[in-house]
Chain A
Amino acid sequence: MKRILLILSAVLIVCGIMSAQQVYNPNECKTLYTKIKKHKDKTAADDAAIISNARGLTAFLDYKVGVMLQADPEKYEQMFLEVAATDEFKYLNTFISYLRSRNRLGRLHDTNVAAYKELMAEYDKMQERAKPISKALS
């Protein structure tokens, strides 16, 4: 009985960790990216999906930054270029630019403002972490 409870607890903890992780959906990102680029009408639900995916993409790039920081600075350029060529990088740049524009124009729905601020805090933190790389590349 004790063993079963222990296993169940472990499963619950793993599930909790997995659900807390920010993820993105490549297919959804592609659809949203196209919507932005083609200036199609976007609903509050679209904006929420963009923010959610952008948080996942930021987490992905933050992971890449961590890998780069552990590497030899001489390898930064090649590693950065490989990241810059990914769809993730392209999507995130577009999503951040779009969301900042919407925020500047006051067009973000109230329900998305809190999530937008959390995203921007995570994004700024990732950029701050990447500063040694940016400095080495400039």
Chain B
Amino acid sequence: MIILAGLRHWLAVIVCMLMMILAACGSGKGDNDAAAGDSSKATTQAQVVPTAAYDSVECQRLLDLNYDIQQKDIESLVTQCEALVEPMTNALYSVSSKSGKEASEAFRAVRSSKPMMYATQLAGFLYLAESLENVPDDLRARARRQDELASGLQRALNEALSSGAKFDPGEDDGH
């Protein structure tokens, strides 16, 4: 009886251990799924993430200056444009390569993002930045480069829009 009781005890322990292992495996799979979900979310977010130099507070400060930008602000304006314009252009081109609901959602994520808003609005100050006096040549050249890239941003927007015209925003196209 003592032996049987001992066996039952060990059997219970083994069953508990098996259940724990199964639970651990189950939760592990869940974590992986969650990680995969996060990863795909991160991929979507990565499309609208500018470079590390992006500073939303500084962007807002520059926007608030509203054509009262001074020579001392040009470096910061150009830096923020460098952090925003090209990544946003690439984000829009990545939308153009998608289709259906995926394209619709990606386009909406990019278009309505704050970095996109800052990219388009700050680009409007670049002509002024290039035209101000006493701006160092290298900084003026950087501003001009960003101004050129901002034209590319407009082209990318048009391309994303023309590809977007093939889908109905917010509707699943069945694919």
Q: Which residues of A contact B (CB under 8 A)?
A: 36-37, 39, 77-78, 81-82, 84-85, 90, 93, 96-98, 100-101, 103-105, 107, 137-138
Contacts and interface: CB of A to CB of B under 8 A. Distances in A.
Contacts of B144: 39
B44 to A, nearest CB: 19
A77 B165 CA distance: 12
A98 B127 contact: yes
Given A37-B151, A98-B127, A101-B131, A85 B158 contact: yes
Contact of B128 (A78, A105, A137): A105
B157 A93 contact: no
B127 A101 contact: yes
A81 B164 contact: yes
Interface of B: 67-68, 111-112, 124-125, 127-128, 130-132, 144, 147-148, 151, 154, 157-158, 161-162, 164, 169
Given A78-B169, A90-B154, A93-B124, A104 B68 contact: yes
Nearest to A137: B112
Contacts, number: 43
B141 to A, nearest CB: 12
B127 A97 contact: yes
Contact of B132 (A36, A82, A96, A105): A105
A33 B174 CA distance: 42
Contacts of A97: 124-125, 127-128
Contacts of B125: 97, 101
A106 to B, nearest CB: 11
Contacts of B154: 90
Contacts of B147: 37
A34 B96 CA distance: 26
Nearest to A39: B130
Contacts of A137: 112
Q: 5 nearest interchain CB pairs? A: A101-B128, A97-B124, A85-B161, A104-B67, A101-B127
Given A93-B124, A100-B67, 12 more contacts: A37-B147, A37-B151, A81-B164, A85-B158, A85-B161, A97-B128, A104-B67, A104-B128, A105-B128, A105-B132, A107-B131, A137-B112
B123 to A, nearest CB: 8
